[in-house]
């Protein structure tokens, strides 16, 4: 069986500086992987490169998604094929209601896959159903995208999109940043509800705390642009006790 995501010896530069120095990672459908590491280890760079954010230069290696070359695809093509990045800092878009944004995005993905676009009533029914399960009031969806949303609301809006778009690979970039424990629990519950044998998740985090709520199958430690250690969920707890310092030595 082809792995859902294969990152092979990936080397990435940003403005002449190499951030990832040969990163390798394999994620199969149904698995939840956590990527941990200190600030500046390249965790967010990895998530951005997988999603196709401009400004990163891939100088070596490859990323395969369901066996296809992901780096060759525009960000919207990746999205239509099932790659979803939940942003660490979701942007605010004044003047575009969340509802219009969701419908335009979902229909763009469906069109790209050759599926029929949702008509407004069908779409509304679907959003109501998904928003209800995440305790998101419909009023919130009539506001500008993320405009005036609290940190928790912004992250719930990311989870809402995940639930609506049903991607096969979800990358959660520092989902816990800026959230108090209650908001974190709500967002994590939404993510856990989406765990399925067809879907994989890559949870990027600095702290072990998030992994109490989203329990991973595999944990990888990144340092200085490489995966320096991989293991099971117990590795996260071990890190909590010992810190990242030992791995920084390994990478050096």
Partner 1 sequence: MNVALAKTDTGTALGEAFALARPRLPGGGKVANTRQQAFEAYERIGLPNRRIEDWKYTDLRVLMRDVLPLAPAPDAAALSRAADALKLHAIDGVRKLVLVDGVFAPKLSDLGKLDAGLTIRTLRDVLEADDAALHAKLFALDAANPMIALNSAMMTDGVVIAVADGTRLAQPVHVIHIASGGLPAAMFTRSMFSLGKEAAATLVESYICADDAENYQVHDSMVIHIGDGARLDHVRLTEDSREAFNISSSAITVGHKAHFNTFGMNTGTIVSRYQAVIGIVGEHSQVETNGVNLLNGRQHADTTLVMNHVAPNCSSREVFRAVLDDRGHSVFQGRINVHQPAQKTDAKMMTRALLLSDEAEADNKPELEIFADDVQCGHGATTGALDDSLLFYLRARGMTEKQAQALLIQAFVGEAIESIVNDDLRELAISAAERWLAARA
Cα-based torsion angle of the residue sequence 59, 90, 31, 212 in order, rounded to the nearest 10 degrees: 120
* Distance between CA atoms of residues 172 and 87, nearest Å: 7
Q: List the one residue from 68, 69, 72, 76 that touches partner 1 (CB under 8 A).
A: 76
State the binding string over 105-134 for partner 1 (x if CB under 8 A, else -).
xx-xx--x----------------------
* Distance between CA atoms of residues 198 and 182, nearest Å: 29
DSSP conformational letter for 66: T
Nearer to partner 1, 87 or 244 (CB): 87
73 binds partner 1 (CB under 8 A): no
Q: List the one residue from 1, 91, 120, 245 that touches partner 1 (CB under 8 A).
A: 91
Provide the token pair at 236.
């996260």
Nearer to partner 1, 75 or 137 (CB): 75
71 binds partner 1 (CB under 8 A): no
243 binds partner 1 (CB under 8 A): no
Contact between residue 51 and residue 85 where contact means Cβ atoms under 8 Å apart: yes
Q: Residue 179, exposed/middle/buried by CB under 10 A (0-12, 13-18, 19+)?
A: buried
Nearer to partner 1, 95 or 197 (CB): 95
14 binds partner 1 (CB under 8 A): no
At residue 8, the 3 state secondary structure works out as: strand
State the binding string over 133-172 for partner 1 (x if CB under 8 A, else -).
-----------x----------------x---x-------
Say which residues have a Cβ less than 8 Å from residue 16's Cβ, sequence separation at least 6: none
Choices 12-20, 65-73, 85-93, 224-232 (CB under 8 A): range interacting with partner 1: 85-93
* Distance between CA atoms of residues 58 and 181, nearest Å: 37
Q: List the one residue from 31, 41, 42, 87 that touches partner 1 (CB under 8 A).
A: 87
* Distance between CA atoms of residues 36 and 239, nearest Å: 9
- In whole angstroms, the minimum distance from the beta carbon of 79 to partner 1 comes to 4
- In whole angstroms, the minimum distance from the beta carbon of 244 to partner 1 comes to 29
- In whole angstroms, the minimum distance from the beta carbon of 45 to partner 1 comes to 14
Give the end-to-end CA distance of the chain in Å, rounded to a whole number. Answer: 35
Residues 29-68 that bind partner 1 (CB under 8 A): 51-54
Q: How many residues bind partner 1 (CB under 8 A)?
A: 30
Residue showing tokens 């067809």: 198
Q: What is the three-state SS of 234-252?
A: HHHHHHHHHCCHHHHHHHC
Q: Which H or E element spans position 6?
A: strand 5-14
Contact residues toward partner 1 (CB under 8 A) are: 51-54, 74-76, 78-80, 84-85, 87, 90-91, 93-96, 100-101, 104-106, 108-109, 112, 144, 161, 165
């Amino acid at each position: 069986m082809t792995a859902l995501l294969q990152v092979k010896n990936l080397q990435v530069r940003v403005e002449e500086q190499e951030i990832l120095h040969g990163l390798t990672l394999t994620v199969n459908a149904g698995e939840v992987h956590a990527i941990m590491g200190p600030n500046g280890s390249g965790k967010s760079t990895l998530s951005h490169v997988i999603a196709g954010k401009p400004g990163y230069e891939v100088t070596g290696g490859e990323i395969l998604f369901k066996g296809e070359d992901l780096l060759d695809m525009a960000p919207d093509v990746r999205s239509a094929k099932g790659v979803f990045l939940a942003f660490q800092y979701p942007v605010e878009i004044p003047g575009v209601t969340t509802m219009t944004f969701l419908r335009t995005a979902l229909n763009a993905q469906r069109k790209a896959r050759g599926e029929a676009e949702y008509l407004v009533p069908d779409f509304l029914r679907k959003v109501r159903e998904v928003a209800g399960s995440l305790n998101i009031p419909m009023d919130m969806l009539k506001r500008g995208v993320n405009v005036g949303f609290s940190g928790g609301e912004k992250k719930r809006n990311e989870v809402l999109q995940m639930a609506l778009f049903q991607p096969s690979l979800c990358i959660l970039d520092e989902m816990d940043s800026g959230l108090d424990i209650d908001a974190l629990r709500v967002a994590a519950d939404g993510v856990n509800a989406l765990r399925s044998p067809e879907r994989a998740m890559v949870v990027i985090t600095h702290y072990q705390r998030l992994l109490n709520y989203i329990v991973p199958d595999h944990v990888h430690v990144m340092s200085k642009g490489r995966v320096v250690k991989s293991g099971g969920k117990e590795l996260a707890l071990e890190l909590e006790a010992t810190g990242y310092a030992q791995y920084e030595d390994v990478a050096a």
